[in-house]
Structure 1
């Protein structure tokens, strides 16, 4: 039965250190967030039909284009575009050229037809046959469209006309066509244009028959030159369609007012925005999953990149997740208060409690980052009263409130400081709410404004009270060494510190100086200086078991080591780190303090007793018998305390310390520990060791500064009159 608690403890330790525990926690948190926000993103489905009367105002939950209405507007815009016509200036020249081609063809055919002189004397010349052949040749040469529109009489007239008359007719006809077609001719006034030909061809030198032929040819050549331009018309219609603004249904837009009858148009809009109970839409579920994935990805990336205990300590990560879950639950619960109908009641959410707890338990940087996560999650959780799935306005309020909680607390642990931070958060909340109300045009009455501001102020105070109530549970349950805990442990009235002071006063003074050296060095490196100071206070608590075996406590006593063997002295001296660790564990001290006490000597060699023991034997003893069993310092704070412990003891033993001697000694101590491998298991660098040396030299120069040596007469006079400055100078 006695072994069972130990095995359970070991089992729990293995569970906490499991490599996949962080992954499991992230998955559980993701599932929790998904379920918490699911009701806020599920599309609202209305059981409503055509011609029903709306029981309430119905607003659009999304912004979407009404494509059907947009198409109708675009079709109307296209219909309103008139066909585009253009004046073809080149048609006049082209048609004039066709007239010339007709006359040129006639001349060529006439030139090729046989004459009377070409006929044989025996044969009679057939003039009519020649004309028929010429007519056929002309019609064959002309295109089918042209030959069909010119009458045979006109062609025969031209064939019978002399060449000189044809040249005159050609020029007159061509010029007439060019003149008529120089003006705009539309398809509907083509006949009017052709009627002008009869007036323009008025040549007295030609026969009426030839004139009629010329008129027919000219009227044939005249065509509309103001024609429909298909390309430009289509381009104008496309531009008109593109210039139509899409018909949008805006998020929050009133679709149906309470008491209105649902008509076809309203019903189509309700279907478009997904408010009709017709089919299951999986996209919001997928979108929420991606949203949670983004949040978890940001959280993991930040934690992995941050140099905090949350990255490597699964217990601290679990604590971080618990704080996140608690605040999320608070936001979810308070979001339902808006359903009570009380104006501004949602602002009571004490979201700043989360960042206050994270600031005190972990650090301010994590708290600031988590403020963004709280605000992002809050935009979804507080969207149930709005048409959208995101309430950006409330997200702004949550962000400002949570940031204020992290910034104003400043890692202080006192209750008065927490209450002061809560008051400041309340003030910031009030300013944030006023900002939102003013931006919206201050449309609320003063009673409603009072409810808004009262809720916001209550939120800040509630956050401070909640932080005070939850902080001890987190510190105890997760063994968190918070700032408040460290300051509590640094109190001289702590039982263990009083034990050191009363039973080993020299050790107490030594520990205080070591604390000063270690704190300054840690702050120079950006480490936890308060932890180093408190760890130094308790690092030699094991000496209280046998205080007179340590030289700083032998002020008026003989050295007991002179009466015992070096091996026994070694055993007594080496045991003090582990006696101290056991004593600290008995008093339920934080493991960080226990580790500093246990590791501050590492595996270093007890040189004095090692050499003393070798003087008494013939064969040299192995160094391993006179080394501390370890472990070596596992982190930078433990390394700094170990260096400070050795430096303080060595400098105090110097008869007349000077800055140069102190610098040489400090560098030698760090070099010896480095060569002895005492820093091998920590992540400390050579540059940091140099910074530690510089920091300790600055602190030691202030402690062991050069004092004025008084003449003997002044010293004696001072003693006679009770002046103790001379004694202080020698101390």
Structure 2
């Protein structure tokens, strides 16, 4: 019951701790976002000017961005619509109406003329009654449009003349009305009626009278089409391209009058002091959110950090801030017209430190973030928001530093990486200059090359300078610290030497073996060497219970039970780790002390216990508590530890015996699953085996190659 309660309490504490850590992580991300916003704020903040209407501009003002001038666009559209001619359509119905009206008039005249003739009235005299009768037959609107004398002349004509006149006028009206007649062309069209009737076989007086009726029937038939006209105008509006104020376009030059049009453009672009826009800041916030999200994804997904994740984030924030501060400070020199001053920023320093001290994958993500920030900070061209040249330059420089450092002896390659970055920087500058195909002077190109070379070298120098401070401040095991701890005068090493000299000698041998093997597979050889010095510090508690310290004395284990002997032997890992903690030694050394035996089996005491016991003996009782090796260095030390002890026990070690023994030990460790929790590969284990064999052959060289020396010494005696 107590165990269950303890487990629950432990789980609660772990959950509470996990939530606290997550909160700290969130704070770090917020701080990074704030730093980014503060640094980049001034670079996206729109410039404003104290420009007054009808005043003289004190400077040349450029458009900071491209905007659509809706007012000017609308004006251009209306101008295009106004230039569209009115659309007309030929109305065929008007032709038929006019012809029908002419026929009706003449038919009415003929009908009235016949009626008068039946009444016996004189054909040469048109009485008022006849006129009145004709008026009643025709509509008033038509009758009033035709002069009375026209009717008088026509009523005097006989039926055949009227029929001829009617047909002639109908033909003339039809011909004329079949052609488009605008309002302004009506007079001309009516005048052409007489031309159409000039060859008709009628008296001139009758032709003139008939022509009057024809003229009255001629009306405009080419009428204004509202829908077609509006469609044309709308088409003209749509064909007008929107008027834009292009980014980089000169709005007003220095010394030019700020008229209403210029003032309107300044107001549209938000360049007046009384005009403020939040769009750039919203855009910057979204960009920062995207970068921080990318950072969160990689940090929270990544599990392998050289130090704790919380410390890694704090260290990352410091390195990130230092790099951004250098960018920002150097960007101030842009005001002095130093072209492409951003080339000199040692931005690669940041990713070098992040790769060496935090995590390689995080360094790649940071390269992209530095490139984006640099392209914003060093944007000196009004025609673009981002300086893509500087962004590309930073990206390639940072990637070059990360890739050159690689995974092997990275600290020793920092200066070389800086030189490589300089070379890549020069290549990038050269390629960009050639692609632009501009008129860059030789002096400018030379200055670019100098800045590119200085950037890489200074990056490596600063990285080397910052490394000891960060390693010391965050408890990162540095080369200098390892060298300091390897001093034989260190209290713990003196303790091993004086209290357990056999263990000390064994540790030195293991250190030699482990260092060369680690360097062969690209692991940290110096860490393996110095860690090996301390890996058996726990044996100083009971030194005489370990065979290497039993000189001219009985083995105390002969008088102990297998279970008790097992407890004493196994305790040296946990007791050693506790001693190292007490002396505040690096965590790496504590891990080596705890993990160098993993969960391996004490075979001798296990079999001894089985022989002397009448009940079942569990194998788990005779295994080390672990954990299993978590790193390549510890895995190599565990192999070297076993190999050294085993080879020392050989009576006549030969190269073949050593090689078989080393391979057998490694094979046994693999089959026992001791390397399941570290990232060492089978290929690397083969390299470790070869390295150990070569080192052991060197150690036992004299005994292997010159066995006859012993015989000579005997004979001389």
When the two structures are superposed, what TM-score results if normalisation uses the length of structure 2?
Answer: 0.73
Moved more, 170-179 or 493-502: 493-502
User: Structure 1 residue aligned with 2:85, among 83, 105, 108?
Assistant: 83
SS of the residue aligned with 1:398? helix
Match of 2:5 in 1: none
Offset of residue 24 of structure 1: 0.4
2:295 matched to 1:299?
Answer: yes
Taking only aligned residues, the RMSD between alpha carbons, in angstroms, comes to 5.6
SS of the residue aligned with 1:19? helix
User: Structure 2 residue aligned with 1:31, among 34, 57, 64?
Assistant: 34
Equivalent residue runs for 1:56-95 within 5 Å: 56-79=59-82, 81-85=83-87, 88=90, 91=92, 95=95
Task: Give the whole-Å Cα distance in 1 for the aligned partners of 2:411 and 2:673.
Answer: 43
Cα gap change, 1:341 to 1:719, in 2 (>3 Å): closer
Q: Conserved in 2, the CA contact under 8 Å of 1:359 and 1:366?
A: yes
SS of the residue aligned with 2:270? coil
Q: Conserved in 1, the CA contact under 8 Å of 2:419 and 2:456?
A: yes
Offset of residue 236 of structure 1: 4.5
2:359 matched to 1:359?
Answer: no
Cα gap change, 1:562 to 1:105, in 2 (>3 Å): farther
Q: Conserved in 2, the CA contact under 8 Å of 1:596 and 1:641?
A: no
2:627 matched to 1:632?
Answer: yes
User: Structure 1 residue aligned with 2:369, among 345, 366, 373?
Assistant: 373
Cα gap change, 1:179 to 1:660, in 2 (>3 Å): farther
Q: Conserved in 1, the CA contact under 8 Å of 2:323 and 2:350?
A: yes
Cα gap change, 1:130 to 1:368, in 2 (>3 Å): same
Q: Conserved in 2, the CA contact under 8 Å of 1:518 and 1:644?
A: no
2:558 matched to 1:562?
Answer: yes
SS of the residue aligned with 2:476? coil
Match of 2:251 in 1: 255
2:172 matched to 1:176?
Answer: yes
2:24 matched to 1:21?
Answer: yes
Offset of residue 25 of structure 1: 0.6
Cα gap change, 1:633 to 1:100, in 2 (>3 Å): same
Task: Give the whole-Å Cα distance in 2 for the aligned partners of 1:40 and 1:531.
Answer: 46
User: Structure 2 residue aligned with 1:47, among 41, 46, 50?
Assistant: 50
Q: Conserved in 1, the CA contact under 8 Å of 2:348 and 2:459?
A: yes
Task: Give the whole-Å Cα distance in 1 for the aligned partners of 2:513 and 2:200.
Answer: 137
Offset of residue 48 of structure 1: 3.5
Cα gap change, 1:718 to 1:516, in 2 (>3 Å): closer
Cα gap change, 1:110 to 1:179, in 2 (>3 Å): closer
SS of the residue aligned with 1:255? strand
Moved more, 204-213 or 492-501: 492-501
Task: Give the whole-Å Cα distance in 2 for the aligned partners of 1:133 and 1:631.
Answer: 135
Match of 1:462 in 2: 458
Equivalent residue runs for 1:282-681 within 5 Å: 282-306=278-302, 308-309=304-305, 313-340=309-336, 345-383=341-379, 390-410=386-406, 417-435=413-431, 446-447=442-443, 449-480=445-476, 503=503, 537=532, 540-542=535-537, 545=540, 549=545, 560-582=556-578, 584-585=580-581, 589-601=585-597, 606=602, 608-613=604-609, 615-616=611-612, 626-628=622-624, 630=625, 632-633=627-628, 635=630, 673=673
Cα gap change, 1:585 to 1:576, in 2 (>3 Å): same
Task: Give the whole-Å Cα distance in 1 for the aligned partners of 2:489 and 2:230.
Answer: 92
Offset of residue 582 of structure 1: 3.8
Cα gap change, 1:664 to 1:222, in 2 (>3 Å): farther
Match of 2:700 in 1: none
Q: Conserved in 2, the CA contact under 8 Å of 1:356 and 1:405?
A: yes
Q: Conserved in 1, the CA contact under 8 Å of 2:305 and 2:312?
A: yes
SS of the residue aligned with 1:612? helix
Q: Conserved in 2, the CA contact under 8 Å of 1:347 and 1:456?
A: yes
SS of the residue aligned with 1:20? helix
When the two structures are superposed, what TM-score results if normalisation uses the length of structure 1?
Answer: 0.72
Cα gap change, 1:182 to 1:488, in 2 (>3 Å): farther
Cα gap change, 1:152 to 1:549, in 2 (>3 Å): farther
Q: Conserved in 1, the CA contact under 8 Å of 2:102 and 2:217?
A: no
Task: Give the whole-Å Cα distance in 1 for the aligned partners of 2:149 and 2:639.
Answer: 130
Task: Give the whole-Å Cα distance in 2 for the aligned partners of 1:610 and 1:693.
Answer: 29
Task: Give the whole-Å Cα distance in 1 for the aligned partners of 2:689 and 2:416.
Answer: 38
Match of 1:266 in 2: 262
5+ residue gaps, structure 2, are 1-12, 120-126, 695-703, 712-717
Task: Give the whole-Å Cα distance in 2 for the aligned partners of 1:517 and 1:145.
Answer: 123
Query: 1:608-627, CA deviations, whole angstroms, 9 ceiling, x for partnerless residues?
Result: 42453455455557777645
Q: Conserved in 2, the CA contact under 8 Å of 1:303 and 1:310?
A: no
Q: Conserved in 2, the CA contact under 8 Å of 1:512 and 1:536?
A: no
Task: Give the whole-Å Cα distance in 1 for the aligned partners of 2:67 and 2:416.
Answer: 47
SS of the residue aligned with 1:309? coil
Task: Give the whole-Å Cα distance in 1 for the aligned partners of 2:705 and 2:67.
Answer: 98
Q: Conserved in 2, the CA contact under 8 Å of 1:343 and 1:451?
A: no
Task: Give the whole-Å Cα distance in 2 for the aligned partners of 1:223 and 1:113.
Answer: 28
Task: Give the whole-Å Cα distance in 1 for the aligned partners of 2:109 and 2:466.
Answer: 117
Offset of residue 40 of structure 1: 2.8
Q: Conserved in 2, the CA contact under 8 Å of 1:643 and 1:670?
A: no
